[in-house]
Amino acid sequence: METKLVSLRRFSKFMCLLTFSLIFLGALVKSTESGLSVPDWPTTYGKFMFAFPLDQMAGGIKYEHTHRMLASIVGLLTLGLCIWLLRSSVGTWIKRLGIAAFVAVVAQGVLGGLAVRYFLPVWLSTFHGVLAHLFLIILIMIAYGLSMEHNHRRHLEDAAEGQWIKMVLIFTGMVFIQLILGNIMRHTQSGLAIPDFPTMGGSLWPTMDQAMLNHINAWRFENNMDPVTKVQVHIHLWHRIWALLILLKLGYINYLAYKKYLNKPLIIKTLFLLNIAVALQIMLGISTVLFMKEVVVTTCHVTIGAFVLGLSFLLLLRSSPCTWDSFKKQLKRK
């Protein structure tokens, strides 16, 4: 029985890593604008997906088709994980998460297919990207619920204070909102709606007037890009503002950790990794603008964003009590 549980733990962690790879491939599809390189779904140029000749995977087809194949593999493995959980002796709440993961991955596949069938509408493409991050969170929670660390902590009273948990919960929510903003920005072609940094439209403080829009569109004309609207500029600006708010929130969380939680290695270790990931994400975001959405930089920016979300959620799990009732009670405490 223990051997089977060890294998299940390892498989759940493998699924998390595979999902990060899938997010990377999805970001690569968008960065290379390959979303309609395969215009039909669920077939690939009329053929069964896994029967499509490898020698025909050229240009954008290799990105889109590889993404589809890996997504199908992740879907099948998620079904396997769900069945494995239902047949195992794990807690009911983990079994329910397994069902939720399977429902999410099926919905994700359908949304991806519909996005292609309807020529990548913004709302469908954005929802497709956001659901990928929800799916990742579910898998991380499954993996943590199965972990030896969680099993050990169930017998300890090592949860952080309610104020800390609230701050980490808010921070995780802020990161998720930022990923939504990033998805909207990418799918509305607003990634270079403000094409300069640290200035914004030619000035350190954005004026958001017609002169600023003219300055931006003059730059875009010189670089053979279509003009943007004020709506696109606003979307891009909010992505930058929210990134700054996240950085400030992280600074406050570090301050609280330094004051109260230096004796909790799990929290400090996770927070250390989160600090590195956020710093890297900010540098990649700046580089995305400065290098005019270069494919590798932009793709890594999206992927590290998912990694920041995963670390934020892991920090929340490691800070919180191991039962839902205890979690709610802890949140009510000051």
| 275, 259 contact by CB (below 8 A) | no
Asked if residue 153 is part of any domain, the answer here is no
What gap in Å lies between CA 193 and CA 293, rounded to an integer? 11
The residue assigned the tokens 């329910």 is 96
For 53, 68, 299, the CA distances from 37, given in Å and listed in that order, are 15, 12, 18
Q: Which residues pair with 44 in a beta bridge?
A: 47
**What letter represents residue 139's amino acid?**
L
Expressed as residue numbers, the domain containing 131 is 1-146
CA–CA distance, 313 with 16 (Å, rounded to integer): 13
Question: Among 146, 167, 189, where does a domain finish?
Answer: 146
**Distance between CA atoms of residues 252 and 243, nearest Å:** 14
How does DSSP assign 95-114, residue by residue? HHHHHHHHHHHHHHHHHHHH
Omega cis (within 30) before 42: yes
Final residue of a domain: which of 86, 113, 146? 146
Q: How many CB atoms lie within 10 A of CB 101?
A: 26
Cis peptide before 227 (omega within 30 of 0): no
> Do both 238 and 300 map to the same domain?
yes
Q: What is the mean pLDDT of each run of 10 residues along the chain (334 residues)?
A: 82 97 96 93 91 90 95 97 95 96 97 93 94 97 95 79 94 98 96 96 92 96 96 97 98 96 94 98 97 96 98 96 81 72
Same domain, 46 and 82: yes
Pairwise CA distance, residues 224 & 229, whole Å: 16
Q: Are residues 327 and 294 part of one domain?
A: yes
Return the pLDDT at 2. 65
Transcribe 226-248 into DSSP letters. Answer: ----HHHHHHHHHHHHHHHHHHH
Within this chain, do residues 106 and 178 fall inside the same structural domain, yes or no? no
Q: Does residue 229 fall inside a structural domain?
A: yes
Statement to judge: residues 122 and 168 lie in one domain: no
Q: Helices (H) and strands (E) in the chain — how many of each?
A: 11, 0
Grouping H, G, I as helix, E, B as strand and the rest as coil, residue 209 is coil
At 319 the three-state DSSP class reads: helix
- The 8-class DSSP code of residue 160 comes to P
Dist. CA 77–CA 289, nearest whole Å: 37
**Residue 242 to residues 77, 177, 180, 235, 313, Cα–Cα distance (Å):** 35, 9, 11, 11, 18
* 141 and 167 share one domain: no
Count structural domains, the chain. Answer: 2
Of 122, 146, 170, the residue that ends a domain is: 146
| pLDDT given for residue 90 in this prediction | 92
Rounded Cα gap, residues 178 and 241, in angstroms: 10
pLDDT (tens digit, 9 = 90+) per residue, 258-295? Answer: 999 999 999 999 999 999 999 999 999 999 999 999 99
25 and 67 belong to one structural domain? yes
Q: What is the per-residue pLDDT for 55? A: 86
